[in-house]
Each structure stands twice: as structure tokens, then as C-alpha cells.
Amino acid sequence: MHPPGRRPTGPAELSPPMSTAEPLRLPSALRARVATARRVVAFTGAGISQESGLATFRGGGESLWERFRPEELATPQAFHAHPRRVWGWYAWRHRAADAAEPNPGHRALARMAAVFPFFTLVTQNVDGLHQRAGSPEVLELHGTLTRAHCGRCGAARPMASALAESAEEPPPCPCGGRFRPAVVWFGEPLPGGVLERAVAESSRCDLFLAVGTSATVYPAAGLIEVARGAGAAVIEVNPEASALASLADLCVPRPAGHALPALLEAMERCRKPAS
């Protein structure tokens, strides 16, 4: 799972423009794949939560990494050198995520889990909105803002309780360590077993949805390549083409909150028994 550039493909088919009430029309070949799909993986990035008011990390003038320096806020070294600054930044992000509400895109994915026999939701997001929307199980590749853990002993607690104890600096752990957000920082490995399971599901799925991701952060973005290489049909939902849009069978250039409810309805129509 490395950055692409070696497997040229034809351009993905673009969905036609959609009005608010217009149903999404899938190409006939894709309808057939959806009708028989048993295993589906949905892979989401920050774009799906942007419609809930949370900033993305890349793209656009208001993305987080265009406003802040990741090496000063999202590395173990930054936390060691400036724990109050890093803790305060994540306190701000936690408040923003806690105040946000799941949007129709999150809710459509939660409902999609009931449409297929096997449905796996993988996310790069740490905001917990998928769970609050009702998704029964979420593979969180980059950890979560909803929990904190001790950097020394690994003891875990809700992030809300850690912030209630101290919103100014990371609270101490009885072991002598201190609590930090349970997110994956630059230079850290992904949570044990999570990436492996995501790769396994992507390698045997029939249909793969890439939603709201720039597809530039590895190893997570490599899941799209894994699924395509294994023969899955790929649908991309993103206002702008991602770095791996050429691997998609269909690109829906619309925000997830608009496109995913329409895509869910199209999938349900495909899977209705012939009368």
C-alpha cells in the first residue's frame, strides 16, 4: 500500500448533476454489482464531517493543516515539549466535535449497514460522529477524540472526564504518567489490529465506497487500492476528485450529506426483488 502512479486506468464515470430531489442514477453495470454485493466497505475521511461544521485537515483555505503546524500539535515530541499547548488544542477540537451533530451522510451510512449482509465502516475521523449516527461498529484508523489514555501505562478514560478534571493541562495518571488524547499522532503506529482488519475486509469486499477523503494519507488511502486490486467496484463520493479517483467506477462529485442518502436509495432500489 504505497502511493500510486503505476497503474493507469480510464477515467471514472461521473454521475450527472443532481438537484436536491433528483434520485441518483447508477450505470447499469454498477447496478448489477450493487444488486449482488454481499460484502461492502465504506471508507470515510474528514470531508464527511465538514458538513457537520468540522474543519478538514487538507484542501481549502480553512483546513486545519493550513492554519496550524502539525509538528507543533500532533506529534509525541510536541506533547512532550509543550503539553499544555497540545492538550489545549485537543480540548478545543473535542468541544467542536461534541457540539457537532451527525449529518445525513453519517446517517445514510448507518442505515446502509442493514442493506448488505456484511458491511464494514472504516474511518480516518476521530470525532465519533459515525457512532452517534447509529453505526453499529466503526474501525477507527486514527484513534478517537472521545477517549484519553495514559502515555505511560495505557489506562483509558473518557476524554470528557479528563477535560473536566483539567482543560488547561493534561491530567496526571496514578502511575505517574499523564493522559493524552487517544488519537494517532504523526510518527505513531495505527491501533493494533485495526488496519489489519480494514485491509482484510477491503481485500474481500464486492463494493468499496470512498467518502470525503483526499486519498493522500497512507497507509489508510491504500485501502482503495487493495479493494480495486481485489476486483471490487469502487464508488467515490467527494466534491473534488481525490488522488485515487481514477480507480473508481463511479465518482459522485457532491458533498456526502447530499450524495449518500441518494446513493442509499439507489442501492435499495437495486436490491429490491423483481416483482
64-105 per-position pLDDT tens digit: 545 556 678 889 999 999 999 999 999 999 999 999 999 999
Decide if pLDDT at 112 tops 90: yes
Average pLDDT (182-204) is 95
Q: What is the pLDDT of residue 275?
A: 47
Structure confidence at residue 3 (pLDDT): 33
- Nearest alpha-carbon partner for 204 in 44, 38, 42: 38
Say what the pLDDT of residue 7 is.
Answer: 35
Q: Considering 94, 106, 130, 142, which one is annotated as catalytic?
A: 142
Amino acid at 6: R
Cα dihedral across residues 153, 197, 245, 52: positive or negative: negative
Predicted pLDDT of residue 31:
97
Instruction: From 215, 217, 208, select the one nearest 242 (Cα to Cα).
Output: 215
Cα–Cα dist 239/1, whole Å: 25
Q: What is the pTM of this model?
A: 0.89
What integer best gives the mean pLDDT of the chain? Answer: 89
Percent of the chain with pLDDT over 70: 86
Share of the chain above pLDDT 90, in %: 79
Q: Which domains does the chain have, with CATH numbers?
A: 10-53+102-142+190-275 (3.40.50.1220), 55-99+144-183 (3.30.1600.10)
d(CA 199, CA 226): 7
- 142 is annotated as an active-site residue: yes
Chain position carrying cell 467518502: 211
Give the residue with greater pLDDT, 6 vs 150. Answer: 150
Has residue 110 got a pLDDT over 90? Answer: yes
